[in-house]
Structure 1
Amino acid sequence: MAGFVLKLSRQAAGLTQEKFAELLGVDPTTVQGWESGRRPLAAIGAGELLKLGARLSRAGAPASTGRHLGEAIEADLVLATGITAGDSWVDPDHHPLAAAVHRRTLTNLITWPFTGSTPPQLGEFIPKVPRRGPVTTRPLLHVDERTRFLDHLVHVTERAGYASEPLLRRQAVYLLGFDRRAHVVDWLRDEWHRVGRRTIPGDDVTGLLEARSASVALAATGEGEHIHDFVSRMSDRDEVANLNYWAYWIGELGDVRTDDSFMRDVDTRSWSGSVLLAHLSNRLDPTTPHLPLNLHTLHALVASRPELLDGRPRLRASLTESLDRLASGDSLTRTGRDQVAGLRYALRIFGR
């Protein structure tokens, strides 16, 4: 990941590999090695990485280049750990999936080789140098590397204790949602029946999130009934945990967390909700398998903080258009139509 992000940032600065090497005072083969992954960027050390990001930004790359490179190295560490271990166990004290709660930007980088979708946060890297020949649009993993990484996730979910290593297991479950192998889909279905069909105790946020991950993953395979079931079973405390999770996921809740316990915090004033409102408003596509969860979360956010709609005429107009499109289609359940009606009513109040 880091090598590919370095390539994007170099191109955004308008530098060829040769010019970049000259700027750094290194041989062009060193730059080629970094970008291809043959020379891991993590090996140059944190200080040198900071300098590298700063040099690129001064040359014309986005100011956020250093942050993107650092996050890509984190993604490389997750992938390398799984690929190296395969179906072997890694002590949780040394496993990156057990170190901190992941955000959307990091997860997008980890799953990039599997989805083929460029992480949205990298959209600011606009190339300014002509491309030569066929262009690779994403980092690539060999088939055996992909298999070893995914097999490692399966091993983690089977070995990690639900109570003893909740974060490690939960984040492995989430990443398994990007594994389309039939036996893994079967495993996710069993996982849903284990955690999604039972009443989750009020303090068991990990159980809630594992049920969420399984239902979201199964929805992507075409089994949409599970995500509807998950949404319908959420209690008031689950609603709060879901909102806190989303706020952290998109970066609105700033501090890095090392476990999931913060999601049960009933005082949500540590985040404003404005970024989450915009994020969810842009995710009401009738064709997305995750629409029930996105719509439900948006409805819960506006119900708890209706003042977020005040003073945002452009967002209200865009949201009104999205809701009108949903209301005119046939993708909504009765609950979904009630939620759309509630949101439209709130928009009318603040549109007066």
Structure 2
Amino acid sequence: MTAHREARGLEALTASSPRPGQRLGAVAGHLLKEIRERIGASQDHLAEILQVDKSTVQGWESGRRSLNSSRAGSLRVIKRNLLRLGGDPTLLTQLDQALDADSLINFVVNDQAIQHADEHPLASWVLTRDTTHMLAWALTGASPASLPVREKPPRRGPTPSSPQLPRDELNAFFSQMRRAAELAHWSGDEAALLRRQALYLCSYDDSPDTAGWLAEIRRRPPKARARGWTPDWADARSVATSLTRHGDHAALAAFMATGMGDEVGEAANLNYWAYWLGVDSLPKADDHFMIATPAQSWDALALLRGLTDRLKPGVGAIDLNVHSVWALLGLRRGLLTADPNLSRSLQERVVALLDSGGISAQARQELVSLHYGLRLTT
């Protein structure tokens, strides 16, 4: 089947029109534009390949017409043709995460007025880093790390440099996320996932009262914290890392003192990292995978690569990142000899952190231990 014949019918499948001013697919649309521009293809050329009107491509890229309204088969057609034109396979894969982000944003911004916590999509869907970064792209305008910086071509007139939502939609999103977090707070353990994820997304809010609101939520946990893993363990970890975005590092220090340091907490932390970084690619419906997933089920070397990338001076949760690398290497001692290039990169990052400030005494001690072990193996 030719590309033209395969694309036939896309126009009919995407013919629905949004209300004036509504942007149903801002994230996926902007990513589609990024992919097309990195290829060097024009909107006219892409429209010709897909056998749709140029206005359809324009609608997708502006977000006025959502790619989520296309059938799954139609999306495969779009991605296959972009790949054939030279599209970056990594970015094409992330179209799925962008579509997920648009779906969640539309649910929240359109004020679904849920009455029960389990009605919210975040109550039964554990977000990954890639999807969260796509959401952050719309909430803050900060490009995901997966999008390499490129020189922007000159343009005529103003064009958006990101899919960031307008202020009224941002206000609506964060207001509804706070409402969801409050509803989940009073709903008990069955809403723990919604509470955790809503609080984390609220940390992207730049409103002056955000840090205080998050801190107040932390001061009234659903139940007393216990050492090791409880249904609140993931919530405490998430809120603590969120607060570092607002300059509050005390919560993270408190979490590491109570929630880490034993076998259960250490295993839960590494299992969460494996899922967050995509090493464990199976979808999760709740947080219990953190204690139910055997460590042997994910690639420890791949996890070490992902964690090594996060060892940078100035990172908010750097103490947790350092500890996670230290704990992983303690669990899998042979990793340091498995990839010499990775070991050298890790050594460079360890030295850079030791030469910098902003790390706790515990993190410094763990870095010294890592440095000594790396010197013996590199």
TM-score by length of 2: 0.85
CA contact (8 A) 1:6 1:69 kept: yes
CA contact (8 A) 2:256 2:320 kept: yes
| 2:106 alignment partner in structure 1 | 80
| 2:250 alignment partner in structure 1 | 225
- Going from structure 1 to structure 2, the CA distance change for 1:330 and 1:166 (only over 3 Å counts) comes to closer
Gaps of 5+ in 1: none
Gaps of 5+ in 2: 1-26
Query: What displacement does 1:254 show?
Result: 1.9
Q: Which residue type is aligned with residue 318 of structure 1?
A: S
Say if 2:145 is the partner of 1:120: yes
| 2:169 alignment partner in structure 1 | 145
Say if 2:346 is the partner of 1:319: yes
- Going from structure 1 to structure 2, the CA distance change for 1:240 and 1:219 (only over 3 Å counts) comes to same
Q: Give the distance between the partners of 1:67 and 1:123, measured in 2 at CA.
A: 15
Runs of 4+ displaced beyond 6 Å: none
- Going from structure 1 to structure 2, the CA distance change for 1:280 and 1:2 (only over 3 Å counts) comes to same
Q: What per-residue deviation string (whole Å, max 9, x for no partner) do you get for residues 273-324 of structure 1?
A: 1122112222222222211111111111111112111132222222222222
Q: Which residue type is aligned with residue 347 of structure 1?
A: L
Q: Which residue type is aligned with residue 2 of structure 1?
A: A
Query: What displacement does 1:331 show?
Result: 2.6
Say if 2:51 is the partner of 1:25: yes
Query: What displacement does 1:239 show?
Result: 1.1
- Going from structure 1 to structure 2, the CA distance change for 1:61 and 1:28 (only over 3 Å counts) comes to same
Q: Which residue type is aligned with residue 61 of structure 1?
A: G
- Going from structure 1 to structure 2, the CA distance change for 1:162 and 1:112 (only over 3 Å counts) comes to farther
Q: Which residue type is aligned with residue 130 of structure 2?
A: T
| 2:311 alignment partner in structure 1 | 284
CA contact (8 A) 1:13 1:57 kept: no
Query: What displacement does 1:90 show?
Result: 5.9
Query: What displacement does 1:66 show?
Result: 4.3
- Going from structure 1 to structure 2, the CA distance change for 1:97 and 1:197 (only over 3 Å counts) comes to closer
Query: What displacement does 1:203 show?
Result: 4.7
CA contact (8 A) 1:53 1:65 kept: no
CA contact (8 A) 1:231 1:296 kept: no
Q: What per-residue deviation string (whole Å, max 9, x for no partner) do you get for residues 15-72 of structure 1?
A: 1011111111221111111110111111121111111111111111123454322221
Q: Give the distance between the partners of 1:151 and 1:343, measured in 2 at CA.
A: 43
Q: Which residue type is aligned with residue 15 of structure 1?
A: A
Find the residue that maps to 1:283 and give its secondary structure. coil
Match for residue 120 of structure 2 among 95, 100, 106: 95
Q: Give the distance between the partners of 2:189 and 2:118, measured in 1 at CA.
A: 16
Query: What displacement does 1:11 show?
Result: 1.5
Q: Give the distance between the partners of 2:349 and 2:222, measured in 1 at CA.
A: 30
Q: Give the distance between the partners of 2:114 and 2:352, measured in 1 at CA.
A: 48
Q: Structure with the greater relative contact order (CA < 8 A, sep ≥ 6): 1 or 2?
A: 1
- Going from structure 1 to structure 2, the CA distance change for 1:69 and 1:282 (only over 3 Å counts) comes to closer
TM-score by length of 1: 0.91
Match for residue 220 of structure 2 among 194, 204, 222: 194
Q: Give the distance between the partners of 1:283 and 1:64, measured in 2 at CA.
A: 20
- Going from structure 1 to structure 2, the CA distance change for 1:333 and 1:91 (only over 3 Å counts) comes to closer
| 2:281 alignment partner in structure 1 | 254
| 1:41 alignment partner in structure 2 | 67
Q: Which residue type is aligned with residue 295 of structure 1?
A: V
Say if 2:57 is the partner of 1:57: no
CA contact (8 A) 1:299 1:343 kept: yes
Q: Which residue type is aligned with residue 99 of structure 1?
A: S
Q: What per-residue deviation string (whole Å, max 9, x for no partner) do you get for residues 102-127 of structure 1?
A: 11000000111223221122339x68
CA contact (8 A) 2:31 2:98 kept: yes
Matches within 5 A, 1:150-229: 150-160=174-184, 161-195=187-221, 198-200=224-226, 202-204=228-230, 206-229=231-254
Q: Give the distance between the partners of 2:330 and 2:222, measured in 1 at CA.
A: 25
CA contact (8 A) 1:50 1:66 kept: no
Q: Give the distance between the partners of 2:136 and 2:357, measured in 1 at CA.
A: 31
Q: Give the distance between the partners of 1:295 and 1:21, measured in 2 at CA.
A: 48
| 2:13 alignment partner in structure 1 | none
Q: Give the distance between the partners of 2:130 and 2:115, measured in 1 at CA.
A: 24
Q: Give the distance between the partners of 1:92 and 1:52, measured in 2 at CA.
A: 35
- Going from structure 1 to structure 2, the CA distance change for 1:8 and 1:90 (only over 3 Å counts) comes to farther
Q: What per-residue deviation string (whole Å, max 9, x for no partner) do you get for residues 65-97 of structure 1?
A: 5432222111001111110117x3265555321
CA contact (8 A) 1:14 1:60 kept: no
Q: What per-residue deviation string (whole Å, max 9, x for no partner) do you get for residues 317-337 of structure 1?
A: 222222222223333332122
Query: What displacement does 1:166 show?
Result: 1.9
